[in-house]
């Protein structure tokens, strides 16, 4: 396999323990998780910028790190390209000099030729003698990409590459980078806490929560059927309740005061249930998986209505729908929602804590 990572690292009270594999040379894997969960430290360990305490990293059958065998290749020997979040360009060097700095090996003229090739590929021709301060954000990112690719890396690491960009430029650069990476013969790992970026760009995803990695899965599976509370939360789910399994496919939702049926597999370690805000549907009181609710607050968002509704168990549910659909409901103060059985997601892992809600009472965490 192209890449295998199984490492541990302790920094103070924080412990990183991640394991995943990239199985295909053109696979784009995302490391997805909240800030501070260990995503960037994982990338830096692969690149050789951080030494793990234990474990093994293998790239294309080359051992980059093995604590037991005392192997720890320096970064320049790993053939791993790293695009830093801040781009890390040399401010006193020109574009050409920056890109040449990444073209290791060969004569100066050979490195200049490789730099010229990447400068042209990144549409930077004419800017060779400019310094980073004279470039736009998008141009600086393309210089960083050109410098990284000039070294012909076997693996590309991207550490939140769009965080310094805004609006339309961010979208445009994302499209360009996606096209570039899809045509690159090596694999790529993207670190992000932006689930939309991950969904658009990547094939597979490994969720990291509190320093621990969860099993890798297909990106679409993460959004359709997350396995844990942490995965559901990072994939954008807003509604959670602690549960008790009371029958085959039957989940008593403690925080909502209702019992819902799910058509998804229920594991022995299920602790919670999640339902996405746009999965609920208005329904008759006798509908399957019906939840009578009272409207506590209506938020007029940019393109939708968000209704915060109180359930029989006292918990809040966030229900999101189009503005026209809310108007057709007559802007009710009380009505009935239903959760389709295929959208009721049984989840393992630590349950969401109970925290004060925005309306002055208490509700299950993560529902606001």
**Strand boundaries in 36-143, DSSP class E:** 54-59, 62-66, 71-72, 80-83
Please give the pLDDT value at position 361. Answer: 41
Buried-exposed string 256-268: b where 16+ CB fall within 10 A, e elsewhere: bbbebebebebee
Question: What domains can be seen in the chain, in order of their start residue?
Answer: 3-224 (3.40.50.300), 230-364 (no CATH)
Predicted TM-score of the model (pTM)? 0.83
Residues contacting residue 109 through CB under 8 Å, at least 6 positions apart: none
Please give the pLDDT value at position 358. Answer: 52
Measured torsion, CA atoms of residues 328, 331, 334, 336, in degrees rounded to the nearest 10 = 30
Q: Is 304 exposed, middle or buried (0-12, 13-18, 19+ CB in 10 A)?
A: middle
Please give the pLDDT value at position 138. Answer: 80
Reported as half-sphere exposure (CB side, CA atoms, 13 A), residue 297 has a value of: 11
Of the chain, the end-to-end C-alpha distance in Å amounts to 42
Phi first, then psi: give them for residue 243, nearest 5 degrees.
Answer: -135, 160
Please give the pLDDT value at position 136. Answer: 86
Query: Structure tokens of 30?
Result: 């995302």
User: Tens-digit pLDDT profile for the chain (368 aa)?
Assistant: 589 999 999 999 999 999 999 988 789 999 998 888 999 999 999 999 999 999 999 999 999 999 999 999 999 999 999 988 778 899 999 999 999 998 888 889 999 999 999 999 888 999 999 999 999 888 888 899 899 989 889 999 999 887 766 666 777 778 888 888 888 888 899 998 888 889 999 999 999 988 999 999 999 999 988 999 999 999 999 999 999 999 999 999 999 999 999 999 999 999 999 999 999 999 999 999 999 999 999 999 999 999 999 999 999 999 999 999 999 999 999 999 999 999 999 999 887 655 455 554 444 443 33
């Amino acid at each position: 396999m192209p890449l295998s990572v199984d490492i541990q690292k302790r920094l103070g009270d924080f412990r990183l323990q991640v394991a995943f594999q990239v199985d295909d040379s053109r696979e784009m894997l995302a490391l997805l998780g909240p800030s501070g969960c260990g995503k960037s430290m994982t990338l830096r360990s692969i690149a050789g910028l951080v030494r793990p305490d234990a474990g093994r990293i293998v790239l294309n059958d080359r051992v980059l790190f093995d604590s037991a065998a005392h192997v720890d290749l320096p970064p320049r020997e790993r053939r791993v390209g790293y695009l830093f979040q801040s781009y890390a360009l040399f401010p006193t060097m020109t574009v050409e000099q920056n890109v040449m700095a990444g073209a290791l090996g060969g004569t100066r003229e050979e490195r200049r030729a490789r730099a010229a090739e990447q400068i042209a590929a990144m549409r930077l021709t004419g800017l060779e003698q400019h310094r980073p301060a004279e470039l736009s954000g998008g141009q600086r990112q393309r210089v960083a990409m050109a410098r990284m690719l000039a070294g012909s890396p076997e693996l590309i690491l991207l550490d939140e590459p769009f965080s310094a960009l805004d609006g339309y430029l961010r979208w445009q650069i994302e499209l360009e980078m996606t096209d570039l990476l899809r045509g690159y013969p090596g694999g790529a790992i993207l670190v992000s806490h932006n689930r939309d970026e991950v969904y658009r760009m990547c094939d597979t995803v490994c969720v990291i929560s509190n320093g621990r990695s969860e099993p890798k899965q297909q990106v679409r599976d993460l959004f359709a059927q997350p396995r844990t509370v942490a995965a559901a939360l990072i994939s954008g789910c807003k509604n959670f309740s602690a549960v008790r399994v009371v029958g085959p496919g039957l989940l008593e939702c403690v925080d909502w005061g209702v019992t819902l049926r799910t058509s998804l597999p229920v594991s022995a370690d299920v602790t919670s249930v999640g339902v996405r805000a746009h999965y609920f549907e208005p329904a008759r009181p006798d509908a399957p998986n019906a939840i009578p609710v009272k409207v506590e607050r209506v938020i007029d968002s940019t393109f939708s209505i968000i209704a915060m509704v109180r359930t029989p168990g006292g918990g809040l549910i966030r229900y999101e729908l189009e503005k026209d659909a809310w108007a057709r409901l007559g802007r009710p103060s009380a009505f009935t929602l239903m959760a389709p059985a295929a959208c009721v997601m049984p989840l393992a892992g630590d349950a969401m804590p109970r925290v004060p809600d925005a309306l002055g009472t208490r509700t299950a965490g993560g529902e606001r």
